[in-house]
Amino acid sequence: MRNLALYHALTLIPLIVIFGVYVYGYSGTLLFSFLLLIYAFFYRPYLDILRLKSLGLYRQQGFWKIFFVERFKYYSSLMFKK
């Protein structure tokens, strides 16, 4: 996932869908909270791992290390650099 625009689209589209479903009343608070937690704790770290692997910055350090430490260490590489 070396394309920065694709990375940002894949991170923002699910959030837009989750908030849209909640705002327009298609889901309740419980489903909204559940979907938001799934996004924050599973989907987004997985996308970050894929992007870091494609940039050659991820070295199989384990999911929890990428979840807590490495995402912030490589924040500028994830968000801005190609």
Residue with tokens 């689209």: 9
* pLDDT over threshold 90, residue 19: yes
Confidence band for 10, pLDDT divided at 50, 70 and 90: very high
pLDDT (tens digit, 9 = 90+) per residue, 23-81?
998 889 999 999 999 999 889 988 988 888 888 887 776 666 666 677 778 888 888 87
Q: What is the pLDDT of residue 24?
A: 92
Domain limits, the chain: 4-79
Q: What is the pLDDT of residue 37?
A: 95
Residue 17 phi/psi, 5-degree rounding, is -65, -45
State pTM to two decimals.
0.81
Give the span between the Cα atoms of 25 and 37, in whole angstroms.
Answer: 19
- Cβ distance 66 to 52 under 8 Å? yes
Which two tokens mark 18? 């989750």
Q: What is the pLDDT of residue 82?
A: 57
Query: Percentages helix, strand, coil for the chain, rounded to the nearest 5?
Result: 75, 0, 25
